[in-house]
């Protein structure tokens, strides 16, 4: 079952892994894709030999007086198209498209959702030329480390070229989901004006637009059902976008704007909610007070997902003034299963949510600076909880309370109130251990802490065999097991060894090459690996590149891996979405060798200081490389050097 | 619309990369990482490459939040030097590690939220529960800047002169030139041609909405009167502010 928060993050952690290309030669997997696209459009393919050998069977014309039974090919294609309509998973579809040309064609005609994991891996024209009947586009841009200011501003991932092409190829487009893309107001205006049937817009971790862009969407997309803005940066153009939704009954089912950092017109919002009978998901921003929340809730008791906004009174509430019965508003929302918000919480009001606790499957307290005492009465009722995000202000004691009650917990994220290295820290191995003992069905964990022990990590590996995602962030760099003084190698080793379903791993603390040898030895299903301040030598990275056949996303920072280590992954890079290495020990020459050996990799060297020229400097600050059918992109800024494949 | 923040100049005042620390004379203050509490070294394990104490900096310190302005961390951290965190409590403890860009890996969005909560809680406690702006309590006004993703609030009562205010705004929105808004510049206000120079000479000018709902250029009235009448501030692109000048002149003439 897809849980809501992960779905919103557009995480691929739940995906099935794609078929593994076990061949050692680098060009084979690219050729396969190119055959299919080469057969439809003759442009741009660098492997001209293979595309020219592909031909499309052209039906011979039949005199109309004679009846002729349909060609076997046609029957097959009709059957295929009918059957293929039932294939929804893109991994299954990719596999089907590799069978033969006619399957490839049929699959292309029946694919309705286009997923592009790296917007630079393929051009809009090529992708849309192949898949002509798409109604829904999912696009991902920048790599994850861009979230942590490791990428220069304006690096790329512009939505512009994509939306332009979509207006040409997909007039019936209904849905767009973007993650880490740069989107401008003009892009949104074009989107709003071009697609009459447009229904769903999701922008996750995007930036570059403002409330004016939202105003375009609200006023022009008459069929809009979903407008989800998740952790995006939205600038305040002082446009009253909420008022821009047209009058009359609205089809809105989901309106998520908790990340929008500006005030909204509450009266307009209230009217909008009142005229949206299908509204199921509503996440308010922190400019909505609890009094205003009440007014909205009583108009929308059918909500299943609620983001409460600030969850504190506005400034004008005086002492002694009577306040509404917030608890009754919550009690009226009998379908509520997912609760978030609490952006500026006044803990006194927390008891209002008691009536919904027993039904909650997802609770997000990650903006609520509350203590264990605040949490306990709430969490003790949340028996059905599957997803829980919280701040470490609840301390180990709070986590113990979670472990005691939430036996169905699948996903836990513990964020730090203070993201620093030099403080005590309120959560530790004690909390982790408690969770591992109490929440046996845990599948995904993200845990920020200041201190940890191998024993607790090992315990989790043994108690929670269903773990797919294990992300531990010991915030102090190079911190060892604080009880034994040992590196954290054994803990992470146990995770990869015991958690047989593990697909995503983030490591931290003091780690030697041994930890990497464990990952290479046991982490056979690992697709995403995040490494920071870890390892001793090139061997560390070699173990991983040689040992993990499913590896697709590798992000490394500040670790002592050099050119030799980089070289050891040549056999595998074409199977990956990307490789990121910043502040490691790479040199320009080493990266050049890669670029020459792998002509279909785009090898970007990024420097923050645009005055420095990478051509004149040996050391590489940041390497970001990814496979692409298009060669070097033409929108790179000055501080990005894209290495040439020749010489 | 390109967010103005993103178009800021990429010139780094202090260009630091791995191995370039020498230029800045940081050897003396360079940190070597070891086990916490043990100072240097850690017996047996080689830490070959010099740790990247990357001074391109992370501004998420929680104390003195009015200076550090976490809302603009994304921009500022590429430009400024970061000093070592002062050790707040026990002098016997080893000095705190300098903060590193992007570490711990918490999205700035999340960091900013918590910092904003902290500062608005501070503001609320200063303002008191009544929330009225009387003469003794604070006078908070929102400050927006064209192209910036977040609004800020300033307490006008904290400043005594326009110059103080400009300095504070300058720190908040440090990558943009607010222009020659010194007291001399404002005296030139009545002189129309010099006013035009002011507007054309800078990228942004501060404007405010007064009690009448009009948008005025900051600096046209005595400071005290300004504090009383200012409802909100907006740092406008000077190209847009050009249109305000005639009205500003009118109002000034009517007042004087």
pLDDT band at B71 (very low <50, low <70, confident <90, very high): very low
In whole angstroms, give the CA distance from residue A193 to residue A412: 41
| Per-residue pLDDT, A51 | 34
Instruction: State yes or no: pLDDT of A255 exceeds 80.
Output: yes
Of B75, B129, B149, the CB nearest to A234: B149
Entry field: residues in chain A = 647
Weakest mean pLDDT among A45-49, A313-317, A594-598 = A45-49
In whole angstroms, give the CA distance from residue A610 to residue B78: 11
For residues A578 and A600, the answer to whether their CB atoms sit within 8 Å is no
Count Cβ neighbours within 10 Å for each residue of A155-187 and write b for 16 or more, e otherwise: bbbbbbbbbebbeebbeebbbbbbbbbbbbbbb
Q: Closest approach of chain A CAs to the CA of B114, in angstroms? A: 7
Instruction: State yes or no: pLDDT of B207 exceeds 80.
Output: yes
Q: Nearest residue on chain B to A586, judged by CA atoms?
A: B18
- Over residues B180-196, the pLDDT tens digits come to 444 444 444 445 555 55
Can you tell me whether residue A340 is helix, strand or coil?
strand
| Per-residue pLDDT, B103 | 92
| Per-residue pLDDT, A514 | 98
Provide the 8-state DSSP code for A44.
Answer: S
Q: Using alpha carbons only, give the angle A482, A484, A490 rounded to the nearest 5 degrees.
A: 95
Give the closest residue to A84 by CA, choosing from A131, A117, A39, A116. Answer: A131
Give the closest residue to B219 by CA, choosing from B243, B199, B239, B240. Answer: B199
| Per-residue pLDDT, A272 | 98
In whole angstroms, give the CA distance from residue B60 to residue B124: 22
Strand order in the sheet with B152-155: B152-155, B140-145, B232-237, B204-209, B215-217
What does the radius of gyration of chain A's CA atoms come to, in whole angstroms?
26
For A:158-197, CB contacts with B below 8 A are 184-186
| Per-residue pLDDT, B45 | 37
Chain centroid to Cα A492, Å, comes to 24
| Per-residue pLDDT, B31 | 45
Of A149, A152, A212, the CB nearest to B1: A212
Q: What region does A502 belong to: left with phi over 0, alpha with psi -120 to 50, or beta?
A: beta
ipTM (interface pTM):
0.84
Which of chain B's residues have a Cβ under 8 Å away from the Cβ of A479?
35-36
| Per-residue pLDDT, B70 | 41
| Per-residue pLDDT, A39 | 34
Residues 6 or more apart in contact with residue A123 via CB below 8 angstroms: A44, A161, A629, A630
Kind of pairing, strands A528-532 and A553-557? parallel
In whole angstroms, give the CA distance from residue B90 to residue B81: 25
Q: What is the mean pLDDT of residues A9-17?
A: 70
Give the closest residue to A256 by CA, choosing from A282, A289, A287, A294. Answer: A282
Instruction: State yes or no: pLDDT of A486 exceeds 90.
Output: yes
- Which residues in chain B belong to E strands, given as ranges? 140-145, 152-155, 204-209, 215-217, 232-237
- The burial class, CB within 10 Å (0-12 / 13-18 / 19+), for A324 is middle
A613 in contact with chain B, both atoms CB, cutoff 8 A: no
Residues 6 or more apart in contact with residue A146 via CB below 8 angstroms: A155, A180
A142 in contact with chain B, both atoms CB, cutoff 8 A: no
- Contact assignment for B106 to A448 by CB distance below 8 Å: yes
Percent helix, strand and coil across chain B, each rounded to 5?
40, 10, 50
Give the closest residue to A244 by CA, choosing from A209, A214, A219. Answer: A219
For residues A625 and A573, the answer to whether their CB atoms sit within 8 Å is yes
In whole angstroms, give the CA distance from residue A14 to residue A1: 9
In whole angstroms, give the CA distance from residue A551 to residue A547: 9
| Per-residue pLDDT, B5 | 38
In whole angstroms, give the CA distance from residue B187 to residue B219: 8
Instruction: State yes or no: pLDDT of A371 exceeds 60.
Output: yes
In whole angstroms, give the CA distance from residue B197 to residue B185: 10
Weakest mean pLDDT among A401-410, A495-504, B9-18 = B9-18
| Per-residue pLDDT, A315 | 67
Instruction: State yes or no: pLDDT of A253 exceeds 50.
Output: yes
Q: Nearest residue on chain B to A511, judged by CA atoms?
A: B45
In whole angstroms, give the CA distance from residue A557 to residue A478: 13
| Per-residue pLDDT, B124 | 53
Which of chain B's residues have a Cβ under 8 Å away from the Cβ of A153?
5-6, 8, 10, 74-75, 78
Q: Report the range out of B4-18, B80-94, B156-170 with the highest average pLDDT.
A: B156-170
Instruction: State yes or no: pLDDT of B59 exceeds 70.
Output: no
**C-alpha distances in Å from residue B204, one per residue of B8, B100, B197, B247:** 13, 31, 13, 18
Percent helix, strand and coil across chain A, each rounded to 5?
35, 15, 50
Q: What is the mean pLDDT of residues B190-211?
A: 66
- The burial class, CB within 10 Å (0-12 / 13-18 / 19+), for B54 is buried
> Could you tell me where the DSSP H helices lie in B94-222?
108-127, 162-172, 183-187, 192-201
Can you tell me whether residue B230 is helix, strand or coil?
coil
Q: What is the mean pLDDT of residues A484-500?
A: 98
For residues B248 and B217, the answer to whether their CB atoms sit within 8 Å is yes
Element (H, E) at A109: helix A101-110
Instruction: State yes or no: pLDDT of B138 exceeds 90.
Output: no
Give the closest residue to A553 by CA, choosing from A145, A23, A159. Answer: A145
| Per-residue pLDDT, B23 | 41
Of A235, A473, A560, the CB nearest to B147: A235
Count Cβ neighbours within 10 Å for each residue of A438-466 and write b for 16 or more, e otherwise: bbeebbbbbbbbbbbbbbbbbbbbebbee
Provide the 8-state DSSP code for A181.
Answer: -
Chain centroid to Cα B28, Å, comes to 29
For A:323-352, CB contacts with B below 8 A are 343-344
pTM: 0.72
Instruction: State yes or no: pLDDT of A431 exceeds 60.
Output: yes
End-to-end, the C-alpha distance of chain B in Å comes to 40
Q: What is the mean pLDDT of residues A210-237?
A: 96
Q: Using alpha carbons only, give the angle B233, B235, B239 rounded to the nearest 5 degrees.
A: 135
Element (H, E) at A255: strand A254-256
Q: What are phi and psi of A454, to 5 degrees?
A: -60, -40
pLDDT band at B9 (very low <50, low <70, confident <90, very high): very low
For A:51-70, CB contacts with B below 8 A are none
Residues 6 or more apart in contact with residue A52 via CB below 8 angstroms: none
pLDDT band at B121 (very low <50, low <70, confident <90, very high): low
In whole angstroms, give the CA distance from residue A29 to residue A21: 7
pLDDT band at A81 (very low <50, low <70, confident <90, very high): confident
pLDDT band at A551 (very low <50, low <70, confident <90, very high): very high
Can you tell me whether residue A84 is helix, strand or coil?
helix
- Contact assignment for B8 to A153 by CB distance below 8 Å: yes
A156 in contact with chain B, both atoms CB, cutoff 8 A: no
For residues A40 and A130, the answer to whether their CB atoms sit within 8 Å is yes
Q: What is the mean pLDDT of residues A92-105?
A: 91
Instruction: State yes or no: pLDDT of A256 exceeds 70.
Output: yes
In whole angstroms, give the CA distance from residue A396 to residue A384: 21
- Over residues A442-467, the pLDDT tens digits come to 999 999 999 999 999 999 999 999 99
A270 in contact with chain B, both atoms CB, cutoff 8 A: no
Weakest mean pLDDT among A415-424, A574-583, B110-119 = B110-119
Q: Which residue has the higher pLDDT, B72 or B255?
A: B255
For CA atoms A179, A182, A184, A186, the dihedral sign is negative
| Per-residue pLDDT, B149 | 64
Provide the 8-state DSSP code for A158.
Answer: B
Instruction: State yes or no: pLDDT of B92 exceeds 60.
Output: no
| pLDDT more than 70, % of chain A | 88
| Per-residue pLDDT, B162 | 86
Can you tell me whether residue A549 is helix, strand or coil?
coil
Q: What are phi and psi of A472, to 5 degrees?
A: -115, 125
Give the closest residue to B155 by CA, choosing from B175, B173, B169, B170. Answer: B169
A417 in contact with chain B, both atoms CB, cutoff 8 A: yes
A262 in contact with chain B, both atoms CB, cutoff 8 A: yes
Weakest mean pLDDT among A64-73, A153-162, A569-578 = A64-73
């Amino acid at each position: 079952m897809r849980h809501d928060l992960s779905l919103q993050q557009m995480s691929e952690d739940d995906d099935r892994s794609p078929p593994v290309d076990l061949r050692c030669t680098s060009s084979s997997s690219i050729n396969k894709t190119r055959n299919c696209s080469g057969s439809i459009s003759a442009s741009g393919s660098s492997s001209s030999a293979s595309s020219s050998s592909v031909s499309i069977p052209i039906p011979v014309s039949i005199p109309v007086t004679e009846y002729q039974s349909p060609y076997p090919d046609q029957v097959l294609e009709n059957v295929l198209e009918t059957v293929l309509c039932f294939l929804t998973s893109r991994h299954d579809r990719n596999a089907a498209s590799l069978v033969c040309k006619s399957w490839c064609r049929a699959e292309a005609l029946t694919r309705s959702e286009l997923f592009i994991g790296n917007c630079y891996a393929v051009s809009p024209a090529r992708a849309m030329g192949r898949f002509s009947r798409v109604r829904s586009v999912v696009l991902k841009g920048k790599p994850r480390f861009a979230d942590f200011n490791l990428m220069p501003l304006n690096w790329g991932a512009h939505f512009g070229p994509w939306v332009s092409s979509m207006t040409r190829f997909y007039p019936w487009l209904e849905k767009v989901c973007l993650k880490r893309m740069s989107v401008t107001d003009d892009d949104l205006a074009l989107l709003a004006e071009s697609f009459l049937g447009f229904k769903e817009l999701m922008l996750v971790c995007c930036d570059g637009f403002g409330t004016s862009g939202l105003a375009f969407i609200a006023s022009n997309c008459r069929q809009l059902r979903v407008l989800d803005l998740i952790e995006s940066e939205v600038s305040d153009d002082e446009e009253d976008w909420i008022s821009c939704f047209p009058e009359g009954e609205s089809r809105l089912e989901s309106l998520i704007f908790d990340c929008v950092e500006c005030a909204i017109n509450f009266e307009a919002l209230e009217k909008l909610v009142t005229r949206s009978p299908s509204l199921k998901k509503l996440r308010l921003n922190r400019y909505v007070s609890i009094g205003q929340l009440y007014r909205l809730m009583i108009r929308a008791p059918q909500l299943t997902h609620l983001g409460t906004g600030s969850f504190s009174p506005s400034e004008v509430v005086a002492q002694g003034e009577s306040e509404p019965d917030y608890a009754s508003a919550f009690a009226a929302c009998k379908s509520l299963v997912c609760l978030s918000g609490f952006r500026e919480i006044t803990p006194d009001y927390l008891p209002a949510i008691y009536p919904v606790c027993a039904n909650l499957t997802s609770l997000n307290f990650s903006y609520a600076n509350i203590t264990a005492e605040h949490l306990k009465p709430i969490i003790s009722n949340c028996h059905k909880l599957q997803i829980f995000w919280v701040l470490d202000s609840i301390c180990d004691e709070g986590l113990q309370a979670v472990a005691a009650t939430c036996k169905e917990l699948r996903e836990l994220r513990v964020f730090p109130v203070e993201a620093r290295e030099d403080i005590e820290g309120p959560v530790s191995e004690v909390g982790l251990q408690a969770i591992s003992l109490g929440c046996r069905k845990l599948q995904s964990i993200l845990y920020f802490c200041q201190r940890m022990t191998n024993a607790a990590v090992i315990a989790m590996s043994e108690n929670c065999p269903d773990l797919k995602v294990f992300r531990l962030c010991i915030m102090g760099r190079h911190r060892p097991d604080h009880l034994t003084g040992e590196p954290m190698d054994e803990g992470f080793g146990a995770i990869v060894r015991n958690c047989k379903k593990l697909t995503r791993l983030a490591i931290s603390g003091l780690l030697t090459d041994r930890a990497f040898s464990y990952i290479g030895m046991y982490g056979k299903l690992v697709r995403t690996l995040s490494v920071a301040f870890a390892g001793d030598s090139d061997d560390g990275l070699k173990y991983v590149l040689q040992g993990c056949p499913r590896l697709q996303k590798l992000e490394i920072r500040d670790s002592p891996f050099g050119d030799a280590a980089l070289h050891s992954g040549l056999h595998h890079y074409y199977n990956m979405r990307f490789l990121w290495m910043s502040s490691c020990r790479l040199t320009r020459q080493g990266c050049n060798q890669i670029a020459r050996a792998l002509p279909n990799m785009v090898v970007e060297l990024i420097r923050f200081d645009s005055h420095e020229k990478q051509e004149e400097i040996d050391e590489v600050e940041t390497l970001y490389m990814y496979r692409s059918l298009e060669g070097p992109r033409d929108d790179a800024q000055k501080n990005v050097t894209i290495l040439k494949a020749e010489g | 619309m390109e967010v103005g923040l993103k178009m800021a100049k990429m010139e780094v005042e202090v260009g630091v990369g791995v191995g370039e620390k020498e230029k800045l004379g940081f050897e003396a203050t360079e940190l070597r990482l070891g086990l916490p509490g043990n100072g240097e070294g850690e017996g047996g394990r080689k830490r070959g490459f010099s740790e990247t104490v990357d001074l391109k900096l992370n501004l998420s310190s929680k104390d003195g939040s009015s200076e550090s302005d976490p809302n603009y961390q994304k921009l500022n951290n590429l430009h400024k030097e970061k000093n070592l965190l002062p050790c707040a409590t026990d002098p016997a403890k080893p000095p705190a590690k300098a903060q590193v860009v992007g570490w711990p890996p918490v999205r700035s969005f999340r960091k900013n939220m918590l910092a904003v909560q902290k500062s608005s809680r501070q503001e609320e406690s200063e303002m008191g529960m009544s929330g009225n702006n009387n003469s003794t309590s604070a006078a908070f006004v929102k400050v927006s800047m064209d192209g910036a993703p977040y609004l800020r609030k300033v307490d006008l009562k904290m400043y005594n002169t326009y110059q103080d205010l400009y300095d504070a705004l300058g720190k908040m929105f440090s990558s943009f030139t607010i222009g020659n808004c010194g007291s001399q510049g404002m005296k030139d206000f009545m002189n129309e041609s010099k006013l035009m120079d002011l507007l054309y000479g800078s990228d942004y000018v501060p404007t405010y909405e007064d009690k009448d709902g009009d948008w005025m250029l900051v600096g046209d009235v005595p400071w005290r009167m300004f504090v009383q009448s200012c409802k909100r501030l907006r740092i406008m692109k000077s190209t847009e502010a050009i249109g305000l000048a005639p009205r500003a002149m009118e109002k000034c003439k009517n007042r004087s």
